[in-house]
DNA sequence: GCCAACGTTGGC
DNA sequence: GCCAACGTTGGC
């Protein structure tokens, strides 16, 4: 039986790691997430091949810049054990890791950025978790929402 | 750079 | 277990 494809939105600050950076790599471990709900999505629900809206946060403007895909099963985030990392977690251990991640792989840039402002203005997207949970860096997206964002990117802003 | 939203920590 | 203090996210 084949798995049902799921859709996600993952935020990254483009000054730190942008869709251009992702496109230059084979895949990227999505490390540093330190929110339990976001972790649970990665650890428990993401499957290889799920599609991701790559969202630029803290940007001018912020918005969806591209598409990525989940490229690995979840595994413990290695930087949680690295005392020199800003993401080091002294309460975690390899025997009982607290933080898990997945690898993310570039699929494509959108023809243009679909801004947060446009997303807010589109009544088809009013239920997006992005809008309801503005601080969560990993959120689920419905197929309808995913398709709508891609459709918007094909049209002039 | 400001600050509102909101998740986490820790004293009690 | 409550909740005030604190820290972080992210739009503007």
pLDDT tens column, A103-144: 999 999 999 999 999 999 999 999 999 999 889 999 999 999
Q: Is the CB of residue A86 inside 7 Å of nucleic acid strand C?
A: no
Structure tokens at A94: 């390899």
How far is the first Cα of chain A from the last one, in angstroms, to the nearest whole number? 40
Bases of chain C within 7 A of a CB of the protein: 8-12
Nearest to A77 by CA among A67, A68, A69, A87: A87
Tell me: cis bond preceding A6? Omega within 30 of 0 counts: no
pLDDT in tens, A65-81: 999 999 999 999 999 99
Residues 7-36 of A with CB under 7 A from strand B: 35-36
Provide the CA A123 distance to its chain's centre, in angstroms.
22
Nearest to A36 by CA among A105, A130, A128, A137: A137
Q: How many Å apart are CA A11 and CA A53, to the nearest integer? A: 8
């Amino acid at each position: 039986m084949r798995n049902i494809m799921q859709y996600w939105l993952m935020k990254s600050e483009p000054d730190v790691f942008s869709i251009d950076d992702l496109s230059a790599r084979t895949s990227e471990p999505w490390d540093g997430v330190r929110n339990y709900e976001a972790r649970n999505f990665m650890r428990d629900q993401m499957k290889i091949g799920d599609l991701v809206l790559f969202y630029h946060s803290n940007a001018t403007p912020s918005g969806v810049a591209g598409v990525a895909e989940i490229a690995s099963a979840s595994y413990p985030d290695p930087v949680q054990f690295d005392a020199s990392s800003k993401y080091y977690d002294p309460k975690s251990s390899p025997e009982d890791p607290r933080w898990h991640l997945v690898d993310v792989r570039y699929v494509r840039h959108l023809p243009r950025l679909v801004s947060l402002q446009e997303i807010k203005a589109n009544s088809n997207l009013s239920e997006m978790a992005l809008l309801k949970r503005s601080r969560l860096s990993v959120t689920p997206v419905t197929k309808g929402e995913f398709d709508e964002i891609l459709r918007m990117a094909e049209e002039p802003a």
